[in-house]
Chain A
Amino acid sequence: MTDATLSVTQSRLETFAREYLNTLGASIRETGPRWHVRLPDHVDVPFIHGREFTVGLGQQPDEHVDGHLLAPDSEFAQQLLEEASSMASVGHVSVSTEEIEEYEYPEWIAASDVRVAGASFTPYYDRNAVVALVKVGVETVSEYQTQFLEAIAIDMSSKQPLPSLADTVLNSFFEPETTSTEPLFESSAESDPLSQVGHDTFSEVIAECQDVAIENLRDSITNIRASASRSADSEFDEYRQLQEQRLSNLKDDLDSVSRRLEKVAEEVEHSDSHQQRVEALQKREELQAEKEDLENKQAEILRKKQTGFEERRREIYNRHSLKIVTAPVVGTVVSYERGEITFQLESERSSDSLQVPYAAGVGTTDNASCNHCQASLSTENHIVIADGIKCRSCSQN
Chain B
Amino acid sequence: MDEEDLVEVEITHNDFSDLVESFSAGAAEFPFHRQTVVAHRLLSGQPDTELRSLSSVDEEQVKLLEHQVDAAHRALFEMNGKALLADEVGLGKTIEVGMILKEMHYRETDDSVLILTPAQLAKQWQGELREKFGLEFICNYDDEFQGFDAHDHIIASIDTAKSEQYRPVVLTREWDVLVLDEAHYVKNEDTDRYDLINDLTYDYAFFLTATPIQNDLTDLYNIVSLLRPGLFGSRDTFHHYFVETGQDTLVNRDELQQRLQQVMIRNRRAETDIDFTNRRIDTRTFQPSDAERALYNAVTDYVREAYSEDRGQKLVLMMLQKEVVSSPAALEQTIRKQLNEHEELTHRSELEAIQEKIDEIETVTKQERLFDIVDEVRQHVEMGRVIVFTQFRATQQQVLQALEEQGYTTHAFHGGHSSQEKEEIVDQFRQEGGVLVSTDAMSEGRNLQFCNIMVNYDLPWNPMKIEQRIGRIHRIGQKREVFVFNMALEGTIEEYVLDRLYHKIDLFQQTVGELSTILTRLEESGQGFEDEIFERLVDADSEADLENDFEAMAVDLEEQQDLSQKVEQFNTAVFENFDLGVEHD
CB distance from B332 to the nearest CB of A (A): 52
Q: A140-B7, A214-B11, A326-B14 are in contact. Are A235 and B48 (CB under 8 A)?
A: no
CB distance from A119 to the nearest CB of B (A): 29
CA distance A92 to B236 in the complex (A): 56
Is B19 in contact with A85, judged by CB distance below 8 angstroms? no
A144 within 8 A of B: yes
Please choose the segment from B24-32, B164-172, B569-577 that sits at the chain A interface, where 4 or more of its residues have CB less than 8 A away. B24-32
Is A87 in contact with B13, judged by CB distance below 8 angstroms? no
A221 within 8 A of B: yes
Please choose the segment from A48-56, A330-338, A340-348 that sits at the chain B interface, where 4 or more of its residues have CB less than 8 A away. A330-338
Beta-carbon nearest neighbor of B109 in chain A: A73
Please choose the segment from A11-19, A352-360, A377-385 that sits at the chain B interface, where 4 or more of its residues have CB less than 8 A away. A11-19
A window 298-346: CB within 8 A of B: 317-318, 320-333
Q: A8-B48, A81-B39, A87-B35 are in contact. Are A321 and B10 (CB under 8 A)?
A: yes
Contact partner, B12, options A19, A181, A199, A325, Cβ 8 Å: A325
Beta-carbon nearest neighbor of A90 in chain B: B22
Q: A142-B230, A192-B26, A234-B233 are in contact. Are A133 and B37 (CB under 8 A)?
A: yes
CB distance from A74 to the nearest CB of B (A): 10
CA distance A237 to B18 in the complex (A): 46
CB neighbours of A323 from chain B (8 A): 10, 12
CB neighbours of B441 from chain A (8 A): none
Is B50 in contact with A85, judged by CB distance below 8 angstroms? no
Q: A234-B230, A327-B14, A327-B16 are in contact. Are A86 and B36 (CB under 8 A)?
A: yes
Is B50 in contact with A230, judged by CB distance below 8 angstroms? no
Residues of A at the B interface (CB closer than 8 Å) are 4-10, 12-13, 16, 19-20, 23, 58, 60, 72-73, 80-93, 133, 135, 140, 142, 144, 147-149, 170, 173-176, 181, 183, 185, 187, 192-195, 199, 202-203, 206-207, 210-211, 214, 221, 225-238, 317-318, 320-333
CA distance A236 to B11 in the complex (A): 24
Is B44 in contact with A147, judged by CB distance below 8 angstroms? yes
Q: A6-B41, A237-B236 are in contact. Are A89 and B11 (CB under 8 A)?
A: no
Interface string of B42-68 (1 = CB under 8 A from A): 111111111010000000000000000
The 5 closest A-B pairs by CB, nearest first: A91-B33, A88-B28, A72-B48, A231-B230, A237-B234
CB neighbours of B34 from chain A (8 A): 19, 91, 173-174, 181, 183
CB neighbours of A7 from chain B (8 A): 45-46, 48-49
Q: A7-B48, A9-B50 are in contact. Are A87 and B9 (CB under 8 A)?
A: no
CA distance A200 to B6 in the complex (A): 38
CB distance from B545 to the nearest CB of A (A): 54
Q: A7-B46, A73-B48, A90-B22 are in contact. Are A233 and B234 (CB under 8 A)?
A: yes
Size class of B's contact patch? 35 or more
Contact partner, B237, options A192, A227, A233, Cβ 8 Å: A233
Contact partner, A230, options B9, B11, B38, B237, Cβ 8 Å: B237
CA distance A328 to B49 in the complex (A): 26
CB neighbours of A229 from chain B (8 A): 1, 5-7
Contact partner, B42, options A13, A181, A225, A234, Cβ 8 Å: A13
Is A84 in contact with B232, judged by CB distance below 8 angstroms? no
Apart from A85-B40, A226-B1, A331-B19: 4 A-B pairs, beta carbons within 8 A: A13-B42, A135-B40, A181-B34, A199-B20
Is A322 in contact with B233, judged by CB distance below 8 angstroms? no
CB neighbours of B236 from chain A (8 A): 237
CB distance from A235 to the nearest CB of B (A): 7
CB neighbours of A149 from chain B (8 A): 40-41, 44
Is B20 in contact with A203, judged by CB distance below 8 angstroms? yes
CA distance A74 to B284 in the complex (A): 61
Q: Which of B20, B29, B35, B52 has the most CB of A within 10 A?
A: B35
Q: A23-B35, A88-B36 are in contact. Are A321 and B9 (CB under 8 A)?
A: yes
CB neighbours of A227 from chain B (8 A): 230-231
B543 within 8 A of A: no
Is B229 in contact with A226, judged by CB distance below 8 angstroms? no
Q: A81-B39, A91-B28 are in contact. Are A233 and B9 (CB under 8 A)?
A: no
B173 within 8 A of A: no
Instruction: Give me 30 A-to-B residue pairs in the complex whose CB atoms sit less than 8 angstroms apart, sorted by A's number.
Output: A4-B41, A6-B38, A6-B44, A13-B42, A16-B38, A20-B35, A60-B106, A72-B48, A81-B39, A81-B42, A84-B38, A85-B36, A88-B29, A88-B36, A90-B25, A91-B32, A91-B36, A135-B44, A142-B229, A148-B44, A174-B41, A225-B9, A229-B1, A317-B8, A326-B11, A326-B13, A329-B19, A330-B40, A331-B23, A332-B37
CB neighbours of B39 from chain A (8 A): 16, 20, 80-85, 87
CB neighbours of A230 from chain B (8 A): 230-233, 237
CA distance A88 to B106 in the complex (A): 35
Q: A6-B41, A8-B45, A8-B47 are in contact. Are A233 and B5 (CB under 8 A)?
A: yes
CB distance from A198 to the nearest CB of B (A): 10
Beta-carbon nearest neighbor of B229 in chain A: A234
CB distance from B216 to the nearest CB of A (A): 20
CA distance A6 to B37 in the complex (A): 11
Is B43 in contact with A226, judged by CB distance below 8 angstroms? no
Beta-carbon nearest neighbor of A181 in chain B: B31
Is B27 in contact with A193, judged by CB distance below 8 angstroms? yes
CA distance A85 to B39 in the complex (A): 5
CA distance A121 to B21 in the complex (A): 37
CB neighbours of B10 from chain A (8 A): 321-324
Contact partner, B32, options A87, A144, A221, A321, Cβ 8 Å: A87
Q: A233-B5, A320-B7 are in contact. Are A328 and B48 (CB under 8 A)?
A: no
Beta-carbon nearest neighbor of B232 in chain A: A230
B window 187-240: CB within 8 A of A: 229-237
Is B230 in contact with A90, judged by CB distance below 8 angstroms? no
CB neighbours of B20 from chain A (8 A): 199, 202-203, 206
Q: A10-B50, A73-B47, A229-B7 are in contact. Are A329 and B40 (CB under 8 A)?
A: yes
Q: A140-B7, A225-B6, A237-B235 are in contact. Are A206 and B43 (CB under 8 A)?
A: no
CB distance from A277 to the nearest CB of B (A): 50
CB neighbours of B19 from chain A (8 A): 89-90, 206, 328-331
Is A19 in contact with B44, judged by CB distance below 8 angstroms? no
Contact partner, B41, options A5, A9, A86, A87, Cβ 8 Å: A5
Is B43 in contact with A85, judged by CB distance below 8 angstroms? yes
CB distance from B235 to the nearest CB of A (A): 7
Q: A8-B42, A8-B46 are in contact. Are A93 and B231 (CB under 8 A)?
A: no
Contact partner, A202, options B23, B80, B231, Cβ 8 Å: B23
CA distance A153 to B14 in the complex (A): 19
CA distance A198 to B52 in the complex (A): 48
Is B45 in contact with A174, judged by CB distance below 8 angstroms? no
B369 within 8 A of A: no
Beta-carbon nearest neighbor of A221 in chain B: B9
Is A6 in contact with B9, judged by CB distance below 8 angstroms? no
CB distance from A184 to the nearest CB of B (A): 9
